[in-house]
Amino acid sequence: MSNFIKHIFQPGSDHREETPALQIISRDEHSISRSQISDAALKVLYRLHNAGYEALLVGGGVRDTLLGMSPKDFDVATDATPEQVNKLFRNSRLIGRRFKLVHVVFGREVIEVATFRAPPTDEHSDKIAATGDQGMILRDNVYGNREEDAMRRDFTINALYYNIADFSLYAYAGGWHDLKQRQLRLIGDPETRYREDPVRMLRAIRFLGKLNGFTLAPDTAAPIPMLAPLLEQIPSARMFDECLKLFLAGKACETLELLRNYQLFGHIFPGTEQCLRDDDQACELALNTMRNTDKRIQAGKSVTPYFFLASLLWPQVARVAREFESAGMAPHPALQKAADRVLAQQIRHTAIPKRFSIPMREIWELQLRLPKIQSRKARELLTHPRFRAAYDFLLLREQSGEDLGGVGKWWTRLQEDEGVPEAPRRSKSYTDEEQRPPRKRRRRPSSSQNNNQRRG
């Protein structure tokens, strides 16, 4: 056992002491067969293998296949450098600076090929692995061997390698055992690994949501609430990508609850977290948004991130707009100014590309216009490019307990072409506090349940 592998075995920490660093599971002892691997991934594996390089499937492709799920994508690990891989495949491109990779492109399928990584220590003469003040890995381009690569991965169940040379499975750090126990366990010392890359905390939550029946190992769960503030150091563009992965995977309801329980959510959407704490209707709206998103995904329908984000940020926008209105501003400019402020605060945490923030603003703005059904111009809104999203959002607000004077129904009937119904009682803008039903007391999930880049 190499020194590096030895040091991840903490004395007294559960099964790791008895678990061999490497366990080889022969082809007849595991369930993966080549028929479950995409043709594109097989092509990449075989070409690397035939060129004399190591070629193994790793990560979600192995994990999900073993769990009887269909993998989202296939990742390949090799001892060939990114440049060597790039030379071998005409249909490939080098990507990433902080973590160099090769994407081999087959139509819509992309196979990610990563060169084995070594631990980020200064003993490497090229010193291209860099660690920041807080232990965060800034670049991770020191190449190593398969064993070292396994130790750089996040969870033990993500360090299972399917070797195309002999179809055997290589499990490191107890990954085979953990897979059978349905346990998510970080490789190495959890606190160090979260500090190296705080996004691993979000990955833990994502896998918990995605993998049925899995639990977080206690020592993997424990440091999360304490280290949650480290998320604020992650570049906002990466956080945005992670958020989409978190919420658009069909398990948004569970994910929101887990993020809140582990005190992570407030470091991603601080303004929303505040509203969720203060306002039961905001909680209801967030839950309905998640349910709605999950249902659409389960039904194979598309989900637009802007709808989802518009809804998550709405309670804040409405709150700030109310403040501006109380200071004497007219509703429309108040809403616009509130949108500016809320978006400016949010993009410090999660970058929101313009292609999403523009429609978000339109949805918000239409929340002021849709209630004005007496206006002669009301019908014109039906042709507004964002009408459908804004109308769906209006219904979601009503469903979450906001009394908008029945305008949702009015728009529904208008679209069903039953003629324009008699306008319901004049609806006031969402900013009218007295229109809201009395607040009900609801139990909020407890803030702390358990006390828990690459590409860092």
Measuring CA to CA, how many Å separate 397 from each of 287, 338, 421?
11, 18, 21
Find the shortest distance in angstroms from Cβ 39 to ligand ATP.
18
Burial of 131: CB neighbours in 10 Å, binned 0-12, 13-18, 19+: middle
The piece of 54-62, 189-197, 201-209, 304-312 that touches Mg ion (CB under 5 A) is 54-62
Strands (E), 281-339: none
| Paired strand residues for 171 | 23, 160
**Binding to Mg ion by residue 241, rule CB under 5 A?**
no
Nearer to ligand ATP, 221 or 407 (CB): 221
**Catalytic site includes residue 133:** no
Nearer to ligand ATP, 57 or 373 (CB): 57
The 3-state DSSP class for residue 111 equals strand
Closest CA to 150 of 160, 163, 136, 162: 160
Nearer to ligand ATP, 203 or 369 (CB): 203
Nearer to ligand ATP, 103 or 455 (CB): 455
Q: How far apart are CA 276 and CA 261, in angstroms?
A: 13
Nearer to Mg ion, 75 or 242 (CB): 75
Q: How far apart are CA 176 and CA 170, in angstroms?
A: 9
**Catalytic site includes residue 279:** no
Nearer to ligand ATP, 75 or 402 (CB): 75
Tokens of 263: 């005190």
H or E element in which residue 310 lies? helix 305-326
**Binding to ligand ATP by residue 153, rule CB under 6 A?**
yes
Residues in the chain: 456
Find the shortest distance in angstroms from Cβ 228 to ligand ATP.
16
Would you give the binding string for ligand ATP spanning residues 70-99, x where CB under 6 A is met?
Answer: --xx-x------------------------
Measuring CA to CA, how many Å separate 203 from each of 15, 194, 200, 216, 383?
23, 10, 5, 11, 41
Tokens of 86: 């790039």
- Among 54, 178, 197, 284, which residue interacts with ligand ATP (rule: CB under 6 A)? 197
Active-site residue, selected from the candidate residues 79, 140, 149, 154: 154
In one letter, which amino acid is 153? R
**Catalytic site includes residue 73:** yes
Measuring CA to CA, how many Å separate 308 from each of 311, 350, 390, 396?
5, 14, 12, 11
**Binding to ligand ATP by residue 60, rule CB under 6 A?**
yes
Find the shortest distance in angstroms from Cβ 67 to ligand ATP.
11
**Residue indicated by tokens 């990507």:** 95
- Among 19, 30, 58, 60, which residue interacts with Mg ion (rule: CB under 5 A)? 60
The 3-state DSSP class for residue 57 equals strand
Find the shortest distance in angstroms from Cβ 309 to ligand ATP.
21
- Among 41, 59, 113, 320, which residue interacts with ligand ATP (rule: CB under 6 A)? 59
**Binding to ligand ATP by residue 115, rule CB under 6 A?**
no
Closest CA to 442 of 292, 286, 278, 259: 278
Would you give the binding string for ligand ATP spanning residues 270-289, x where CB under 6 A is met?
Answer: --------------------
- Among 30, 185, 200, 251, which residue interacts with ligand ATP (rule: CB under 6 A)? 200
DSSP state letter for 117 = B
The piece of 195-203, 291-299, 302-310, 351-359 that touches ligand ATP (CB under 6 A) is 195-203
User: Which residues are near Mg ion by CB under 5 A?
Assistant: 59-60, 73, 75
User: Which residues are near ligand ATP by CB under 6 A?
Assistant: 58-60, 72-73, 75, 153-154, 158, 197, 199-200, 203, 453-455
